[in-house]
Amino acid sequence: MKEYDFVIVGSGLFGATFAHQAKKMGKRCLVIDRRGHAGGNIYCLNKEGINVHFYGAHIFHTNDKKVWDFVNKFATFNRYTNSPLASYRGELYNLPFNMNTFYKLWNVTTPKQAQDKINEQISSLHITEPANLEEQALKLVGKDIYEKLIKGYTEKQWGRKATELPAFIIKRLPVRFTYDNNYFNDTYQGIPIGGYNAITAGLLNGIEVKLNTDFFKERDYFQTLADKVVYTGAIDEYFDYRFGALEYRSLRFEHEHLDMANYQGNAVVNYTDAGVPFTRIIEHKHFEFGTQPTTIITREYPAEWKRGMEQYYPVNDACNEKRFKQYQQLSKEENNMLFGGRLAEYRYYDMHQVVASALVKAERILNPVYQASTLPELNANI
C-alpha cells in the first residue's frame, strides 16, 4: 500500500478544499507547495494588525449557497461590500457602471436619460454580436465610459489592445441603471474576519503540508508516493511546455506602510488612465473596517508573464484556448492525475468557482460508484 491516497500539489483554495474533503472521507493526504506559506493567492500577511491581501484584493462573493455555507464553516464573514472607485485624471467615478457614474459623467439623473445617452453614443456603431472586449464595452456603456474608465485600464492590465481581448472579460462587471455601487450582483459577499488564512488553516487542519517544496524537483518521487496526484499548478508547466507556453498576465505588488490612519478612504481605487503605470491601489484595513493608527497600501503593476514569474491571470484568447485544448487532451491521458484550479484549468475563476470545482471533483473522485472512469472524464471537464 502506498503511503498516501493523494498527493496534492498546491495549497491554494482548490488543493486545500480537495484535501479537506478527502480527509473527511478517511483518505491520507499530503499537500505540497513551492511557496513558503499555504493558501495560494488568498494568503494574507498580518502586519501592524492589518491583514494584507498579499496577492491582491480578494473579496468573496457567490450566489451558490452550498459554497457560501461551506466557507462559513471556517470563518465568520463581515458585511464588506466592494464599491471601488475609478480615478481618471484626478476625477473620481463610482464603479461598477451605474447611475452614480452616469450622473457624474453626463449630469443625467434618470435611468431613461442615461440609456438615451448610451444609445446616442452607440447607434452609429451597429454592434450586434460583439466580437471583442472593445465592442462589448461600447455596446454596454457607450464611448465616454469606454474611453475614460475601460480602455486605459484594460490595455495596461492585459498588455493587449481591447480589440484583441475576449468580450467575456468585461461582462464580469455589472452595468446598472440604479444608484447602487455594489461591484457584485451575488447574494452573498464579505471578507473573512481576521483574513483568509483562517479558511486555509481550517481546510488544512490535521493534514500534512510541506512548504517550499516544488513538485517538479522530485516529480517521480511524489508520483510514486500516492495512488493519485491532484495537480493545481499551471498545466503547460506540467507538460514541460510541449506545445509552447500558454500566456498569462503577471503582477508586481508594491506594498507600502504609511504613517497615517487613512490614505484613500476606500479599500480599492482603480486608476483607469493609461498614463498611470499601476491599475489599482488597495488600502487593506478598509476590508475589515480597521481603526489602526497606521495604514498599508499596495499598488498593483501588471506585467507580461515570463518563465519563473507567478502566473496570475490566464489570457483566454482564441490562440491560447487552442493551445490549452492540446494540453487538456494530454491531461486526459495521464494516469492517476487530477487537474484542477485556476492554473490547471486555465480559467479566469473567482474563489467561489474554485471551491465549487474542487467540491464537485472531490465528490466524484471519492465516490466509489464513479471511480473507475472518473479521471479522464473529470480532466475533460476542465
* Least distance (Å) between residue 158 CB and ligand UDP: 6
Q: How many helices (H) and strands (E) does the chain have?
A: 12, 16
**Is 120 a residue of the active site?**
no
Nearest to 307 by CA among 378, 239, 250: 250
CA 119 to chain centre: 32
CB atoms under 10 Å from CB of 291, counted, come to 9
- CB closer to ligand FAD, 101 vs 200: 200
Residue 300 annotated in active site: yes
Residue 190 binds which entry of ligand FAD, ligand UDP, none, CB below 5-8 Å type-dependent: none
Classify residue 147 by its DSSP letter: I
What number of other Cβ atoms are within 10 A of residue 84's Cβ?
20
Of 9 and 138, which CB lies nearer to ligand FAD in the complex structure?
A: 9
The correct pick among 272, 298, 316, 379 for binding ligand UDP (CB under 6 A) is: 272
Whichever of 181 and 270 has its CB closer to ligand UDP, that residue is: 270
Mode of pairing for the β-strands spanning 280-283 and 337-339: unpaired
Rounded Cα–Cα distance for residues 331 and 376 (Å): 8
Residue 200 partner contact from ligand UDP, ligand FAD, none using kind-dependent CB cut-offs of 5 to 8 Å:
none
Q: Respond yes or no: is residue 172 known to be catalytic.
A: yes
Which one of ligand UDP, ligand FAD, none interacts with residue 172, CB within 5 to 8 A by kind? ligand UDP
In the bound complex, what is the minimum distance in angstroms from residue 124's beta carbon to ligand FAD? 36
Instruction: Report how far Cα 366 is from the mean position of its chain's Cα atoms.
Output: 26
Q: Is 160 a catalytic residue?
A: no
Nearer to ligand FAD, 33 or 273 (CB): 33
CA distance 199 to 73: 8
Rounded to whole angstroms, the Cα distance separating 48 from 20 reads: 31
Distance of alpha carbon 199 from alpha carbon 134, whole angstroms: 37
Annotation says 176 is catalytic: yes
For the bound state, the minimum distance from the C-beta of residue 174 to ligand FAD, rounded and expressed in Å, comes to 14
Task: Output 343 or 375, the one with its CB closest to ligand FAD.
Answer: 343
270 binds ligand UDP (CB under 6 A): yes
Instruction: Select which of 300, 327, 346, 349 is catalytic.
Output: 300
**By CB under 6 A, residue 378 contacts ligand UDP:** no
Window 209 to 268, contacts with ligand UDP (CB under 6 A): none
Q: Mark whether 249 is an active-site residue.
A: yes
Q: Which of 334, 348, 364, 370 is catalytic?
A: 348
To the query of whether residue 89 is one of the catalytic residues in this protein, the response is: no
Pick the catalytic residue from 89, 172, 242, 252. 172
Please state the φ and ψ torsions of residue 116, each to the nearest 5 degrees.
-60, -40
Question: Measuring CA to CA, which residue among 212, 170, 227 is closest to residue 6?
Answer: 227
**Residues whose CB is less than 8 angstroms from the CB of residue 162 and which lie 6 or more positions away in sequence, other chains included:** 132, 133, 134, 137, 150, 151, 154, 155
Catalytic residue (one of 5, 80, 146, 176): 176
**Single-letter amino acid code for the residue at 322:** K
- Which 49-88 positions form the footprint of ligand UDP (CB under 6 A)? 86
Measured from the CB of residue 257, what is the shortest distance to ligand UDP in angstroms? 23
Considering the rule CB under 6 A, would residue 98 count as an interface residue with ligand UDP?
no
Q: Does 95 contact ligand UDP by CB under 6 A?
A: yes
Nearer residue to ligand FAD within complex by CB, 14 or 153: 14
The angle, 0 to 180 degrees and rounded to 10, between the axes of the packed helices 133-145 and 151-158 is: 140
Closest CA to 136 of 167, 176, 175: 167
Greatest C-alpha distance within the chain? 71
**With respect to ligand FAD, which residue has the nearer C-beta, 20 or 139?**
20
> In this chain, which of 21, 98, 157, 353 binds ligand UDP, going by CB under 6 A?
157
From the list 27-35, 109-117, 169-177, 358-366, the region that binds ligand UDP by CB under 6 A is: 169-177
Measure the CA–CA gap between 287 and 292, rounded to whole angstroms.
13
- Residues of this chain that interact with ligand UDP (CB under 6 A) are 86, 95, 149-150, 153-154, 157, 169-170, 172-173, 270, 272
List, by residue number, the catalytic residues: 172, 176, 249, 280, 300, 348, 350
